[in-house]
């Protein structure tokens, strides 16, 4: 468990890099967001039962 915590711990350098990022807010309705595209194109429903939905998705090459 301690090894996992150490791996997931954010280092000061990483924290500074993230805090310096300039990310423009997404304006709903102007263009689809990453999540909208992913939800529409990436998820395939395989099976539906009462209280159970089985889905698969394909990860685009740019995210692997």
SS3 label, residue 8? helix
Instruction: Give residue for tokens 């924290």.
Output: 15
> What stretches of 1-64 show up as alpha helix (H) in DSSP?
2-8, 12-19, 34-37
Provide the whole-model pTM: 0.33
CA distance 38 to 52: 21
Contact criterion met (CB below 8 Å) for 57 and 41: no
pLDDT, tens only, 1-52: 788 788 888 888 888 888 888 877 777 777 777 667 666 777 888 999 998 9
CA distance 11 to 31: 34
């Amino acid at each position: 468990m301690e090894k996992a915590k150490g791996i997931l711990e954010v280092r000061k350098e990483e924290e500074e890099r993230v805090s310096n990022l300039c990310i423009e807010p997404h304006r709903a309705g102007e263009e689809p967001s990453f999540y909208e595209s992913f939800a529409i194109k990436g998820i395939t429903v395989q099976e539906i039962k009462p209280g159970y939905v089985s889905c698969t998705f394909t990860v685009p090459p740019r995210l692997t």
